[in-house]
Structures are given as structure tokens and as C-alpha cells.
Amino acid sequence: MWNQKTFRPKKSAPSGSKGAQLRKHIDATLGSGNLREAVRLPPGEDINEWLAVNTVDFFNQVNLLYGTLTEFCTPESCPTMTAGPKYEYRWADGVQIKKPIEVSAPKYVEYLMDWIEGQLDDESIFPQKLGTQFPPNFKEVVKTIFKRLFRVYAHIYHSHFQKIVSLKEEAHLNTCFKHFILFTNEFGLIDKKELAPLQELIESIIVPY
């Protein structure tokens, strides 16, 4: 079962030289510490390829971050998936579960990660071979993935930030979240109303530039 201590295996970027090249570009720009630069579409690159490689990356990051909290984020401590008192998320994937259901936070994250993994493994959505066409609704799929990954961040910040601090992980969490927000902001991936639970934090990230 996925929750045993850590997390699922890391996903790798689409094979072929393209994914590898883009990954090198991300690593190089991230290494410079300039996140603003790291999220920009590299000159001459295909926007869908760029979205695809980064989607895999952010999925892995959130997975790892949440994985450090699995013993603290339990059905007892987090019986619902919330982001503070005003926001509660219910799960539906439109396929197996059509009507949103209330589940505990760990169950929500488990459903979510399984669902994203299913999208990433579906070659008709995330083509693995170089030069294969992306589906026409690709950006919409990516937007749904990012919207839902954001909810995991929102839950971590609202329910487990003290734990993150005690684990001395807050700098890492903040850097990952900043990178995530700058990327979603650059490509308009998450609607403003969805970002409300972490609005102040997001403004502190976006405004200084």
C-alpha cells in the first residue's frame, strides 16, 4: 500500500532526448537560484513538451513533500481534506467517482496521486515518444492536475506547517511552493479563486518581482 512510510516511485520524464534536454535546462536554471527564469518556456521549445516535463516534476515534488508527513496526516488527525476552516475539498475523478465524496486528507491525497499517475501513464495524454502529438485538450488536463496538486500544498500549509518547521523542512517546502506558483502563474494554470486559501503567501511570492 502506497502509504507505508514513504511514497510511490519517482516518475521519470518522457523518454527521448527532448525530455532529457528540457530536464537539463530546468536543473541548470534552478541551480542558478532564479526561479523566475526557471519557469519560462525556453526559446524555440514546444509549450506542451515544457508543460509535460514540468507536470511530472511537480508531481514528484509534491509526492516527496507529502511523503514526509504521512505519519502525521492520518484519518484521525485530518478526517477531511481541508485548507483552513473555510476550505474543504471533496474527491471526484469523473470516472470511478462521479459525485464528490468527503474523504480523509490521506485518502484524498492517495486518490489524487493515483489519478495523476494514471494521467501521466496514459500515452494518449502524455505521449512518451518524441514528436507524438499531444491531445487538443492537453492544457486543460494539466490545469486540472495543477489545481489538485495545489490543494495538497494548501493542506500542508494549513494543517501541518508546524510539523514541517519541526522537521526543518520549511525552506524546502517554501522553495518548492514558490517554484510551483511561479510556474502556474507564468502559464495561467490555476484560477485565482482556487488559490484563495494561500492568497497572502502567493502574493508575497509574485509581487516582489
Q: What is the pLDDT of residues 199-209, one digit of tens each?
A: 999 998 887 65
Residue 89's SS3 state is strand
The answer to whether 132 touches 26, Cβ cutoff 8 Å, is: no
> Predicted confidence band at 25 (pLDDT cuts at 50, 70, 90)?
low
Q: What is the pLDDT of residues 44-55, one digit of tens each?
A: 889 999 999 999
Residue 82's SS3 state is strand
Q: pTM for this one?
A: 0.87
**E strands along the chain, which residues?**
81-82, 88-89
Give me the mean pLDDT over the 169-190 stretch.
Answer: 94
Q: What is the pLDDT of residues 104-146, one digit of tens each?
A: 999 999 999 999 999 999 999 999 876 789 999 999 999 999 9
Q: How far apart are CA 164 and CA 171, in angstroms?
A: 9
Give me the mean pLDDT over the 11-33 stretch.
Answer: 64
User: In one letter, which amino acid is 19?
Assistant: G
**Closest Cα to residue 119, out of 99, 97, 146, 101?**
146
Q: How far apart are CA 182 and CA 147, in angstroms?
A: 14
Q: Grid coordinates in use for 199?
A: 492568497
